[in-house]
Amino acid sequence: MFKRRTIAAAAAGLGLLWATSAFAQFADRTIKFTNGVDEAHPVSAGVKRMQEVLNAKTGGKIKINAFWGGAAGGDLPATQALRAGTQEMVCTSTSPLVGIVKELGVFDLPFLFANEKEADAVLDGPAGQYFNKKLEEAGVVNLAYWENGFRNLTNSKHPVAKVEDFDGVKVRVMQNNIFLDTFKTLGTNAVPMAFGEVFTALETKTIDGQENPFVTIETSKFNEVQKYLSVTRHAYTPFLVLYSKKLWDQLNPQEQAALREAAVEGQKAQRAANRALNEKSLASLRAKGMQVNDISAAEQRRMFEKVKPVYDKNVPVIGPEAVNLVLDSLKKARGG
């Protein structure tokens, strides 16, 4: 009996020694992870999955401390903090970063992607690697492309089912030149405005409409001040999971590999959650009384034709190399 206990104790000791040595290459780290969305957003599913993978890979040594709803600052200031090496991570959409990496403006171009499958093929392929290199040159490392999703139009005047229906509708757009050009070209009275001001502006009829993914429309309760929802899918916005290049270079290869794998596994969870919640949000918005209309394929083509001048004007600014790479990748994804 004593001998068996001694052997068991020795085995347990060896097991503990192995576990300790297996994770010896990882330092104890708590990573500050900021983003502008609420914890109810599907980004939370991605962060949760990331932490699960990091627990398994590092023995719980690398921990993520997430700050939600812009509690630790906006996307652009957080990204600048990464570049300076004063913060580790941020999850941000591409749109706020065009002043840092102009090539990211390609994702603001209207009616670029037809569906999520096309977006995945481009972002997870050579085009995505091209933007990753540009981001590294700007001082941040992109670990994975997550998803904000397709944007759709709401307004309080009438359904938008054809090109002519945009005429005269006063629409809030992001403070972004390409979105401003797009909605002006479509015929709206486009008004750049900070997101925090949108609900009140809709409520007071200062503006007629706005555009966002279904999840954002529901969580922001825009259905309370908007009657019509048109499934325009006029733009697809990726999320970037960024790490400070200065701080990344201080990690050892094992730590870097664990973080990359965790972000890619997080991507799968986040995209799946985002797509499921978008469908749920659309059904919920219908149930709450919004009048929802789809856009026919023929009208979608007319809308694309109408906004071609936006491409002509902005491609030289974004850079033809980036735009052509994305368009070529899209062509391959479509089997052309």
Q: Sketch the domain layout of the chain as residue ranges.
A: 27-333
Assign 29 to helix, strand or coil. Answer: strand
CA atoms of 58 and 75, how far apart (whole Å):
28
Q: Residue 2: what pLDDT? A: 47
Strand partners, 242: 90, 142
| Percentages (nearest 5) of helix, strand, coil residues in the chain | 55, 20, 25
- Packing angle of the helix pair 126-137, 116-123 (nearest 10 deg): 60
Q: How far is CA 205 from CA 18, 169, 209, 210, in A?
A: 66, 11, 9, 12
Q: Are 242 and 82 in contact (CB under 8 A)?
A: yes
Question: Any idea which residue has 């856009």 for tokens?
Answer: 295
pTM for this entry: 0.88
Closest CA to 195 of 181, 178, 216: 216
- Packing angle of the helix pair 126-137, 320-333 (nearest 10 deg): 150
CA atoms of 43 and 36, how far apart (whole Å):
10
CA atoms of 128 and 144, how far apart (whole Å):
9
Closest CA to 208 of 161, 163, 153, 162: 153
CA atoms of 125 and 109, how far apart (whole Å):
19
Distance of CA 57 to the CA centre of its chain: 25
Amino acid occupying residue 39: E
Q: Residue 175: what pLDDT? A: 82
pLDDT tens-digit map of 116-144: 999 999 999 999 999 999 999 999 999 99
pLDDT less than 50: residues of the chain? 2, 10, 14, 16, 18
Q: Residue 106: what pLDDT? A: 97
CATH of segment(s) 27-333: 3.40.190.170
CA atoms of 45 and 124, how far apart (whole Å):
20
